[in-house]
Amino acid sequence: MSISVGDTLPETTFMTMGANAPEPVSSKEFFAGETVALFAVPGAFTPTCSAKHLPGFKEKADELRSKGITKIACTSVNDVFVMDAWGKDQSVGEDVVMLADGNGTFAKTLGLEMDGSGFGMGSRSKRYSMVVEDGKVTQLNVEEGPSFEVSSADYMLKSL
């Protein structure tokens, strides 16, 4: 069963790169008291993710904040080192928090995992975006198949 609007996000631990080493981040603490634009990609450094998805949220960060978003975060089933390198490559700075879901636990718990083994990628996350207010999903935009439409920053902005 997939997560739905109105559901509370499950508790999990993401990894982010701290000043000197990887650091765990509790989902409960990360989303508490915040309005978060969270988006997921099938893989860091992949074509659509690097050319459109992540750059779109970086470019629209100020507009999203003007609509009440307090944090923007990207998650992917990649390890923390890959997510950190990708964030640096994309120059996200402080605009987008890179949340590594290295084991795919978050994607699976949400019911939003996909089988990317046909592309040599194993189990991955579907492409989606959501708005999470104090841990509760208030907007959910899941892509069908390989498309990139409803999970974009532009689409989210139209719905805020």
**Cα–Cα distance for residue pair 34/43, rounded to 1 Å:** 26
Q: Choose, from 49, 61, 77, 83, the residue flagged as catalytic.
A: 49
* Catalytic site includes residue 49: yes
Q: Tell me the pairing of strands 113-115 and 123-125.
A: antiparallel
Contacts 24+ apart (CB under 8 A), 82-89: 82/44, 82/45, 83/15, 83/16, 83/17, 83/44, 84/16, 84/17, 85/44, 86/44, 86/45, 86/50, 86/54, 89/45, 89/50
Number of H helices, E strands in the chain: 7, 9
Q: How far apart are the first and last CA of the chain?
A: 26
Q: Any idea which residues carry the catalytic annotation?
A: 49
